[in-house]
Structure 1
Amino acid sequence: MFEIAKLRRFVMCGLLGLILTGVVSCLKSPTQAPQLEFWTMELQPKFNDYFKDAIGKFEAANPSIKVHWVDIPWGAMQGKIQAAMGAKTAPDVVNLNPDFAIQLAARNAWLNLDPVLTKGENKEYLPSIWQAGTLDGKAFSLPWYLTTNVTIYNQELFTKAGVPKPPTTYQELAQVAKQIKEKTGKYAFFTTFVPEDSNDVLESMIQMGAQLTDKQGKAAFNTPAGKAAFQYWVDLYKQGLLPKEALTQGHKQGIQLYQAGETAMLSAGAPFINSIAQNAPQIAKVSAVAPQITGQTGKKGVAVMNLVVPRTTKMPDAAVKFALFITNATNQLAFAQASDTLPSNIKAVADYKTKLESGDDKSALDRGKLISAEQLSQSEILIPPLKNLDVLKKAIYENLQAAMSGEKTVEQAVTDAATTWDAGK
């Protein structure tokens, strides 16, 4: 009898517990909105206010979605996203560059955007920039912000050399380099041939009409155009029109030489004008801005940042909606103005130029930004996405250096570079 009573009390307590649990559950707040995780590259803390405002507006318009913003250091992003995808804990929207994004696109890592972009959203972006986010005709990313170099030049040195305006092509650059050296004793410019430091020489080859690789990924620069590009740089160096440290020093050396008044030109993003003003105010006073130098192709280089949506996302619709929101005309324009970058949205580019064109007294920075925006119609990612780009750069740069120092003929240098790439790619 005693055991039955104990059992009854136990059952009653258990039922009471279930009832109370139900009551407490009813008293709890409504189910939290699903959280969308958004990763960017090194944008905190400078742009905290921008993203707080943008995310706040998105959440107000989409109360069923909450956004968690995570900022990753630039050098850590590649490893972190690969690890997260391997562990199936990838975020829902990720900020990457096309070089790395397309490598993972080849492994089917990203959501195919074509089936979900049904309102012609692709027409809202610059065509050449949109193309950089496609693979095998399928869109895997939305373009975001851009940067493109301009030519910053020393007007005082140009006047002393009797050069009326900065060169626009590599052919003109060779002529100007000779005139400046003869009249002033200074170098016209500095370009590094250190493979770990810069893609500038590879980009110049493409601008001059050479092709780096074919559709199978094999070397395609062992051609008359490729040899002509090699010959161009070899001639400049052998004629003493490039500083000797171009073979051993990186891009920082070029900056130092320009700020010291030892070179007449510098290829950099327009915002670098402010750095010159801080570091070398006397040089800044005589500096002006011109379009990026190109070859006979007329192509100009651009660096692109984009947004991708991992296929593993549990919120594909929300992720795409958020990515489209961040890259729409209003938000791209606001971010471009806050960051001194360029938008990739066509309407945002037009509005960006209109704002810069208004007003009579433009600063050197504003003129540089306007030139950057105006040359976007000719800009594209010059170097095709390659898994082993560093191997290709090393093969080309080292053989080019050998030709510049007289160890090889140009023809042998080009042949050896192509052979090295094909053997080790």
Structure 2
Amino acid sequence: MPISRRATAAILPLLLSSMALTSCNGDDGGGGSRPDGAIEGEIRFQTWNLRANFKDYFNGLVDAFEEKYPDVKVTWLDQPAENYAEKLSADAGSGNLPDVVNVSPDLAHPLAKAGVLMNLDQEKASSRFRSEYTPEAWKGNALPGLDGTYAFPWYLNTGPMFYNKALFRKAGLDPAKPPHTYDALFSAADTMASTSGGTVATLAGTPSIEDFGRYGVTLMNDDATAFTYNESQGVELLTRYKKLYDKGGLDGQALTNTPEKAGQKFLEQKVAMNPGSAHDLETFKRDAPSLYKNLGITEAPNNTGKPNMYVMGLAVKENSEHKAAAIAFAHFITNRKNQESFAHKVAIFPSTKGSLDKPYWTKDDGTDEGRVRVASAKLLKGAVNYTPVVMSDEMKTVLQNEVAKALQGKKSPKKALDDAVAQSNQLLQQG
């Protein structure tokens, strides 16, 4: 299930070329909606790798909607996670995109840029629902450079930062006050490295684009046509990571650590802080009881006052033959009742206004899941999606490689970031 944001390759060229070949397929381009906006007709609804675990849930939703609107017939489709972006591109190019599709902002961007998705802010039938969702969720589905929101906010996710209270105490740090800013983080990491003789690092991974965002770096220009994270603050952050790496505050294998390896280092208590989830708590309880006993949960450090957030949405096809029905269905799936119901079945969070104020997300019920759920829910208020929607996996790899060169001393932090931005901007232009 695609809980976290999935970066995708640029698919706009394929979309545009395919659409040029199919522009004469008889569609009038006006969406085919009846003048009176009647909620009727046959629509197709496509999710992203959800059928295996939630078949009964979604079948029940479809049945409930059809009971409410007896003149509508909904066909539910589900696609596997693998090659989902390419599937969307091919369907859009051939004119076969379903009426309502499950997308993350990075998947929505090329489709919206090609004119395939409806702009909710410009469609009166959909914009009137805006007040039902949190401002953070609505903004999270807005697309830079396209002046609008192109998907109904659906479920959200974020991840807490785990920290080892015992290692904090041993280093003379207050375990009740984990670092919430990068200044505090680097200070704690210096202390941890010094008091342990370099045997205990604070972090296990190199900085990602999210770290640059949380540090306060301007990642792109306003219309998302060029990366800018090589600005002075970006250079400052990488320079601080370089010093941390040299002192042993960053794990010695950070350049090659995968999330799994980083998690293992934390479990072995060789690293003091690491992001995680409720699933990790079960592992800690079983394999590292001393860690579990001393486990702290906090937010990832940031200088902006805004934690990171992953968002998912439901988009409506711009030229749907039954747009009124498609809008009604997308809103039905993402309304408060149905979002809260779904969030009780899996570790996600509703994007509807007021939902996260309920006891389920504010009161710890004593379970591991509840402990993480409550801690994570607190982080979603005011959270933003830091990763640019146009940043592909290839661009992320470019940044990762250049960061590694800076940490190894092969390039200065400024040179590394200048090169990363130049390569990524070239890829962006090619896309």
Report if aligned partners of 1:90, 1:312 keep a CA contact under 8 Å in 2.
no
TM-score (norm 1): 0.83
The 8 Å contact of residues 362 and 377 in structure 2, kept in 1 or not, is answered as no
CA contact (8 A) 2:204 2:257 kept: no
Indicate the larger mover: 248-257 or 410-419: 410-419
Q: Is the 8 A contact 1:88 1:312 kept in 2?
A: no
Greater fraction of residues in helix: 1
Task: Please name the residue that 2:93 is paired with.
Answer: 86
Contact 1:41 1:77 in 2 (8 A): yes
Partner of 2:320: 313
Report the counterpart of residue 176 of structure 1 in structure 2. Answer: 188
Correspondence for 1:408: 411
The 8 Å contact of residues 102 and 133 in structure 1, kept in 2 or not, is answered as no
Q: 376, 385, 389: which is aligned to 1:385?
A: 389
Structure 1 residues 275, 81: CA separation in 2 closer, same or farther (over 3 Å shift)?
farther
Aligned to 2:57: 50
In the alignment, what sits opposite 2:76?
69
Is 1:152 matched with 2:162?
yes
Ranges in structure 2 where 5+ consecutive residues have no aligned partner: 1-39
d(CA) in 1 for partners of 2:269, 2:244: 20
Structure 1: distance between partners of 2:292 and 2:44: 43
Change (3 A) 1:280 1:335: farther
Q: Pick from 213, 235, 242 the counterpart of residue 234 of structure 1.
A: 242
Aligned CA distance change for structure 1 residues 128 and 247 (closer, same or farther; 3 Å) = same
Cα distance, 1:187 vs structure 2: 1.8
Shift of 1:89: 2.0
Among residues 371, 378, 381, which one is paired with 2:375 in the alignment?
371
Is the Cα–Cα contact under 8 Å of residues 213 and 386 in structure 2 kept in the other structure? Answer: yes
Q: CA offsets, 1:54-74, max 9 Å, x none?
A: 222222212222322222111
Q: Distance in 2 between matches of 1:76 and 1:396?
A: 23
1:423 Cα deviation (Å)? 4.1
Distance 1:55 1:118 in 2: 20
**Identity rate of aligned residues, in percent?**
28
Q: Structure 2 length normalisation: TM-score?
A: 0.82
Local SS of the residue matching 2:313: strand
Pick closer, same or farther for the CA change 1:357–1:417 going to 2, 3 Å: closer
Residue 151 of structure 2 is matched in structure 1 by 141
Aligned length: 381
Q: Tell me the amino acid that sits aligned with residue 234 of structure 2.
A: G
Cα distance change, pair 275–36 in 1 and its aligned pair in 2 (3 A): farther
Please say if residues 333 and 349 of structure 1, whose CA atoms lie closer than 8 Å, have aligned partners that are also in contact.
no
Question: Which position in structure 2 is the counterpart of 1:283?
Answer: 291
- Residues 400 and 139 of structure 1: CA distance in aligned 2, closer, same or farther (over 3 Å): closer
Paired position in structure 2 for 1:355: 360
1:255-298 CA distance string (max 9 Å, x none): 1111222222211344543454455455334323112321x222
1:166 matched to 2:178? The reply is yes
Check the 8 A contact 1:129/1:381 in 2, yes or no.
Answer: no
**CA RMSD of superposed structures (Å):** 2.3
> In structure 2, what residue type is equivalent to 1:381?
N
1:63 to 1:336, Cα distance in 2 relative to 1, 3 A = same
- Residues 162-181 of structure 1, C-alpha deviations (whole Å, 9 max, x = no match): 32232112221112223333
In 2: Cα distance, 1:260 partner to 1:115 partner? 53
> In 1, Cα distance between the equivalents of 2:285 and 2:319?
47
CA 299–119 in structure 1, closer or farther in 2 if over 3 Å, else same: closer
CA distance in 1, matches of 2:368, 2:151: 34
Q: Relative to 1, partners in 2 of residues 1:364 and 1:49: Cα closer, same or farther, differing over 3 Å?
A: same
Secondary structure of the residue that 1:166 maps to in structure 2? coil
Report the CA distance between 1:358 and its aligned residue: 4.3
Larger Rg: 1
Q: Which moved more, 1:314-323 or 1:262-271?
A: 262-271
Q: CA deviation at 1:127?
A: 1.1
